[in-house]
Structure 1
Amino acid sequence: MALPVTIYKANIQLSDLDRGIYETLQATLARHPSETEERLVGRLLAYALLYEEGLVFTKGVCEGDEPDLWSKAPDDRIRSWIEVGLPDPERLLKARRHADQVTLLAFGSKLPGWERQHLDKLINSSNITVIILEQEFINQLVSRLKRTVSWSITVTEGNLYLQDGAETLETSPKRYAQG
């Protein structure tokens, strides 16, 4: 018998002063039994930090050829291809041929080694952006994760402030892109 998915509901007040985006985001996420809570938090953060009109969650883990999130143009061309975690860099290099922009929200316990081995290759490729989040920040969010998520996120001058209940967490993501 297959294990059921776990459903999470999210309400995010987003104030991205750096990009001029002020939105109330609502999302329902399904966490596949093989997906970690860390990865789910990463997908939710990617949705907020990279939000644009038309951005949607894909089948992700269940569909190997799709990213975690994407947005498409009316002609079905992929505008944004977004991955989370530490995927095989060849996957991102292949994706850049099919999308206008590829973005990786990178985090994980093996990040330092992954960074040394793959980061230069990726950031020297056109239309790929890598955003690195501190693992401690992700761990703090995972420890607070509930089935109903209510976050207030402010991004200003490259800093990320996330309010979860009475507590505010802060991090400064590292952003790498060509140019």
Structure 2
Amino acid sequence: MALPATIYRVGVQLSDVDRNQYQKLQTTVARHPSETAERLVARVLAYACQYDPDLAFTKGICAGDEPDLWIKGPDGRVTTWIEVGQPDPERLLKASRHAAKVILFAYGPARYRWENQHLPRLLAIPNLTIIGIDYDFLQQIVARLQRAINWDLTITEGNLYLSIGEETLESSLTLLAGTIDQE
């Protein structure tokens, strides 16, 4: 018998000064049994950092042909494709042909090796943005992870200030390729 997904209730008080977004985000996220806690946290951070009313979580790990998050237009076509982790460059190339905008939140203990190996080729994709997330920052969040996620997240000048309870964790987002929208 397959293990069921673990459900997380997420509440994020978002103050994204860079994009002039001030929202109380409420969502539910399912964590597949094979998904790491770091990947779950990366997906939630990507959701908050790229928040748009039409942004939605997909089946993710369960559906290999879908991104982690997406925005679909009225015609059902994917306009924004968001991945987390260190996907195969061919996957990003394919996504860039089908979506107007592709964003990767890259993280992991081997991220720098992945960057050295694949970044030169990926820089040629005009609609691809790659943002690096510090792996130690993700691990600090994972150490405080609960099924009911309640965060206060402030984003200013590419820096993240994440308050969980009485603690505030800090990190920066590293732009590795493309541009970050300042909507």
TM-score range, shorter chain: over 0.9
Measured in 1, the distance between the counterparts of 2:167 and 2:178 equals 35
One-letter amino acid of the counterpart of residue 23, structure 2? E
Q: Give deviations 1:76-113, integer Å, cap 9, x for gaps.
A: 12111000011111100110000010000010011111
Other-structure match for 2:176: 176
| 3-state DSSP of counterpart to 1:28 | strand
Other-structure match for 2:42: 42
Other-structure match for 2:99: 99
Measured in 2, the distance between the counterparts of 1:91 and 1:26 equals 30
One-letter amino acid of the counterpart of residue 118, structure 1? H
One-letter amino acid of the counterpart of residue 80, structure 2? S
Measured in 1, the distance between the counterparts of 2:129 and 2:178 equals 7
Other-structure match for 1:108: 108
1:74 shift after superposition: 0.6
Number of matched pairs: 179
Measured in 1, the distance between the counterparts of 2:121 and 2:82 equals 18
One-letter amino acid of the counterpart of residue 10, structure 2? A
Deviates most, 62-71 or 118-127 = 118-127
| Aligned 8 A contact 1:123 1:130 in 2 | no
Other-structure match for 1:10: 10
Measured in 2, the distance between the counterparts of 1:29 and 1:178 equals 28
Structure 1 stretches of 4+ with a deviation exceeding 6 A read: none
| 3-state DSSP of counterpart to 1:46 | helix
Q: Which runs of 5+ in 2 are unaligned?
A: none
| Aligned 8 A contact 2:129 2:178 in 1 | yes
- After TM superposition, the score normalised by the length of structure 1 is 0.97
Q: Give deviations 1:21-44, integer Å, cap 9, x for gaps.
A: 111111101111111111100110
Q: What RMSD in Å do the two structures reach over aligned CA positions? A: 1.0
Other-structure match for 1:23: 23
Percentage of identical aligned residues: 58
Measured in 2, the distance between the counterparts of 1:125 and 1:81 equals 14
| 3-state DSSP of counterpart to 2:75 | coil
Measured in 2, the distance between the counterparts of 1:17 and 1:109 equals 29
- After TM superposition, the score normalised by the length of structure 2 is 0.95
Is the aligned partner of 1:119 residue 2:119?
A: yes
Other-structure match for 2:156: 156
Other-structure match for 2:66: 66
Other-structure match for 1:167: 167
Other-structure match for 2:77: 77
Q: Give deviations 1:118-138, integer Å, cap 9, x for gaps.
A: 112223311000000111101
One-letter amino acid of the counterpart of residue 5, structure 1? A
Measured in 2, the distance between the counterparts of 1:83 and 1:178 equals 15
